[in-house]
Amino acid sequence: GIDADAVNCSGAPYDMENSGGGVSHIVIRNGRARNGSGVTVKGTLNQFYNMLVYGNAAGLQADGTSHLVSNNSVYGNGGSYGLKIVAGTGNRAQNNIVYGNTSDTIVDNGTSSTVDHNITSNPLWVDPANGNFRLQTGSPAIDAGTTLNTYYNTDIAGNVRV
């Protein structure tokens, strides 16, 4: 995975167009891609998880086959969606928080997609306006996800998920 911030980008802050890759534990913010998104993934069998995507022209989108988009927080982005499966077969969008965007919509234009255990209501972050996306006690996001496998057993801060 990549451990970095993509900040104040003029193009799509992260656009992956290959197959079989993975990106995790990354913050994508302040991207201003025209008609683009904070994160775009294309190809086959890519995995995007434990990411924070906020303050971009649009949220996070997957276009292709058998992508896994999980355990991400998508906040404060513009555009007509928070998370979007553009097309393709067998994509999975699970355990994501999509809140506080121009639209908190999760769009599924794919075929045979799995879209579940996502939260689009207030997750009770501590202070998102100042970049603190930790969950408060009583958050509806705590223990709301589904178990994916042990590969996804840490959060964006590297803490073990329980």
Query: Residue 122 has what pLDDT?
Result: 97
pLDDT score of 28: 64
Distance (Å, whole) CA 127 – CA 91: 31
pLDDT (0 to 100) of residue 104: 86
Exposure letters 51-67 (e unless 16+ CB within 10 A, then b): bbbbbbbbbbbbbbbbb
Q: pLDDT tens string for the chain (162 positions)?
A: 333 344 444 444 555 556 666 655 556 655 544 445 677 888 888 888 888 888 887 888 888 899 889 889 999 888 888 999 999 999 999 999 999 999 888 999 999 999 999 999 999 999 998 889 999 999 999 988 887 766 566 766 677 765
pLDDT at 143: 86
pTM: 0.81
